[in-house]
Amino acid sequence: EDQVTQSPEALRLQEGESSSLNCSYTVSGLRGLFWYRQDPGKGPEFLFTLYSAGEEKEKERLKATLTKKESFLHITAPKPEDSATYLCAVPPRTGGGNKLTFGTGTQLKVEL
């Protein structure tokens, strides 16, 4: 069964203190890895899709990277508004439909 593990479970940063979140997966023949942001009481908001090792994508203070075994979400000079839970997810190796298997997320809090 596909597994996705995220670490750390929770992270507290000071404003401007850069860090990285990790997402490791066991799916072979990866067909994509997705990053989402989720604010309390809301649905996940799509951030990035990565398809192949070495690929990188950026959006404002966020940069996602992918290797053959894991993905990192780098947060550069975070602001309090970056506080949220960050989820990663993968589709199954085979089959259609693209149902996603999610990790449990990293809860990020950025303080002034």
Partner 1 sequence: DTGVSQDPRHKITKRGQNVTFRCDPISEHNRLYWYRQTLGQGPEFLTYFQNEAQLEKSRLLSDRFSAERPKGSFSTLEIQRTEQGDSAMYLCASSLARDTTYEQYFGPGTRLTVT
Q: State the residues that interact with partner 1 by CB under 8 A.
A: 4, 31-32, 34, 36, 41-46, 49, 51, 87, 89, 91, 95-105
**Residue 2 or 17 having the CB closest to partner 1:** 2
Give the separation between CA 72 and CA 8, rounded to whole angstroms: 12
Rounded least distance, CB 68 to partner 1, Å: 18
Is-contact 60 48, C-beta < 8 A? no
DSSP codes, 26-87: --SS---EEEEEE-TTS--EEEEEE-STT-EEEETTEEEEE-SSEEEEEE-S--GGG-EEEE
Q: For partner 1, give the closer residue by CB, 78 or 105.
A: 105
Least distance between partner 1 and beta carbon 21 (Å): 14
CB of 6 vs partner 1, minimal distance in Å: 8
